[in-house]
Amino acid sequence: MTAMTARLFAKTSNWMVHGIHTACAVLVVVFAASVFLVLDASVEQANKFGQATERKLVQQEFQHQIDEIVKYQAAVSIWDATVAQIRSAEFSKYFVERQLRNRLWSEFGFSWTVFVPTGKPAAIAINRGEEVSPDKADTLLFWIDDLVYEATQNYWGAMKKTDGGFIIRKPAADPDLLSPELPFIHASDMRMVDGRLSIVVVQAVLPRSLFIPAGFEQPTLMVSVKPISDKMLSIMSDRLGISGLHVVKQDELKDDPTAYTPVGKGFTDGPFLVAWQPNAPGPTIWEAVMPKVALLSTLAAISMGFIAWRFGMLVRALQRSEASNRFLAKHDGLTGLANRIGFQEALEAFTNTDRNGPLSIIAADLDKFKTVNDRFGHAAGDAVLKTIAQRFRDRVGDRGIVARLGGDEFMVILRDVSNREEALAIANGMVIDAQIPIPYNNLLLQVGSSAGIAFYPQHGRNLRNLVHSADMALYQAKNSGRGRSVIFESEQPEAVAPEETQSAA
């Protein structure tokens, strides 16, 4: 080989080496850029999916709070005793003290309770447990005049003429949905009342029979205001598995990176926004993957296998995130029981697969739970809920499904159980389970429980009516002294204390 040939070969070899180096460098850069772009898109989609799920859960939680306030108010507004007060010359001191102050304010925290006859000034107003001059409610009534109008229209729209007067129609049955068990005559929304975001419910006062004699059809409306306290927001945050749930203004979101969603209709001073710190998987993914991506840019020989492994980790992380979100959407984050969505799906599954099979429902909630929460704190309350949830789950076993619908409210679906004695034994067992003291920080926490039982199809041909019957039986159990089980009857529920079926439990 001549010197010229050697120099030409060396030059060609160097060119090939540089070309390969350049090609490898370009390949590594292109590969790293591709990985970066894919990761960025994946993280963005994961963050969007997580926030969308959390947003839906927050909206459902606020709607659940509104539905609960409607139920609490209906216990007073759809009641013969309240109708008698409306038709008398004035409200009795006993009624005001017992129902409006002790119950609605002390127990449920309603900051305002106002009774307003149609077209007239307020008849009585209770503000934070104290009876005030009715004209002090004028400002409140001014800002909710749209709800007053809506509730009035709903009332007249639900009225049907009958012999001797009128009857209020209930919602039409729908076998595919769980509609409210009460007549749809209320109006509700989120409003700013006394500087606090609050739930406002307006509903006509009716007798339990829903029959209105001729001459008494002009309604008196009951207005209830329940403030959304910081404590309520904290409880909702814990229940949803998010942090920092709070109310914000529109202009505060400019520099606020939190997730947010509107609540309320926004007819007058809204819509209102609630924000929280999202559980976004993006930062975790970036923290885990980016150092490896940087390493892959310099180690081209092992980059493909390494990236494949990292992508496998990314897919598994996204799958775990999605599975966790799906689980949270249908289960209670504190107890692991089915939540309201999971409960509804279980009932719908029965409708679709075994409509003619036996089924019974137990509605239960805890007695004296609020006392434990107030005295020992929410950590103690959570310990009580988790312990009793496990006891209920063990009690029911594979005979059905236990769900926690919110707060201390539980619901049990018993498949293939139509025997009154068996269902009553389970319900009384649950009552006894709740009465067993719960160890907590060298203390023994004591609560109780009441339960209502309904059977399909005796107490409801559709599942909404069945759940309503169980709820009505539960109300009867609590009104009969608590710590007992009640089987729903069309005329009068049958109350049974736990000791009467102790052996069966």
CATH number of the domain enclosing 346? 3.30.70.270
Give yes or no: residues 352 and 476 share one domain.
Answer: yes
User: Do 171 and 221 have their domain in common?
Assistant: yes
Q: What is the pTM of this model?
A: 0.51
- pLDDT, one tens digit per residue, over 163-184 is 989 998 877 666 666 655 678 8
pLDDT in the model for residue 350: 73
Hey, what are 354's tokens?
């075994």
Phi and psi dihedrals of 115, rounded to 5?
-110, 125
On whether residue 286 sits in a domain, the answer given is: no
Q: How many domains would you assign to the chain? A: 3
Q: Average pLDDT, stretch 418-427? A: 89
Domain co-membership, 222 together with 242: no
Last residue of one domain, picked from the residues 167, 201, 228: 228
Residue 495 has pLDDT above 80, yes or no: no
In a domain, 13, yes or no: no
Mean pLDDT along residues 343-350: 81
Asked whether residue 11 is domain-assigned, the answer is: no
pLDDT score for 426: 93
My answer on whether 249 and 148 are in the same domain is no
Q: What value does the mean pLDDT take over residues 283-308? A: 67
pLDDT at 304: 57
* Residue 206 is assigned to a structural domain of this protein: yes
What CA–CA distances, in Å, run from 298 to 17, 26, 30, 36, 321? 17, 11, 12, 15, 31
Residues 6+ apart with CB under 8 A from 221: 115, 116, 117, 118, 148, 151, 152, 202, 203, 204, 205
**Within this chain, do residues 271 and 203 fall inside the same structural domain, yes or no?**
no
Quick one: 442 and 370 in the same domain? yes
Question: How far apart are the C-alpha atoms of 261 and 62, rounded to whole Å?
Answer: 11
What interhelical angle do 282-298 and 300-330 show, nearest 10?
170
Per-residue pLDDT for 503 more than 50?
Answer: no
pLDDT at 309: 59
State what percent of residues in the chain have pLDDT above 70: 77
Range of the structural domain that residue 247 is part of: 235-277
Residue that is written with structure tokens 């010359």 in the block? 89
Mean pLDDT is lowest, of 143-157, 174-188, 196-210, 329-343, for 174-188
What pLDDT, on the 0 to 100 scale, is given for residue 277?
82
| Same domain, yes or no: 421 and 491 | yes
Mean residue pLDDT of the chain comes to: 81
Peptide bond into 358 cis (omega under 30): no
Q: Does some domain include residue 482?
A: yes
**Does residue 7 sit within a domain?**
no
Determine, yes or no, domain membership for 4.
Answer: no
Same domain, 366 and 260: no
Average pLDDT (332-351) is: 85
Average pLDDT over residues 82-89: 88
* Least trusted range by pLDDT, from 25-29, 48-52, 414-418: 25-29
What pLDDT sits at residue 220?
92
DSSP string, 71-83: HHHHHHHB-HHHH
What pLDDT shows up at residue 1? 44
Q: Which of 228, 259, 288 is the last residue of a domain?
A: 228
> Is residue 108 a part of any domain in this protein?
yes
Q: Percent of the chain, pLDDT > 90?
A: 35
3-class SS of residue 494: strand
- Specify whether 167 is located in the same domain as 273: no
Tell me: do 240 and 120 sit in the same domain: no
Q: Are residues 242 and 155 in the same domain?
A: no
> Are residues 99 and 120 both part of a single domain?
yes
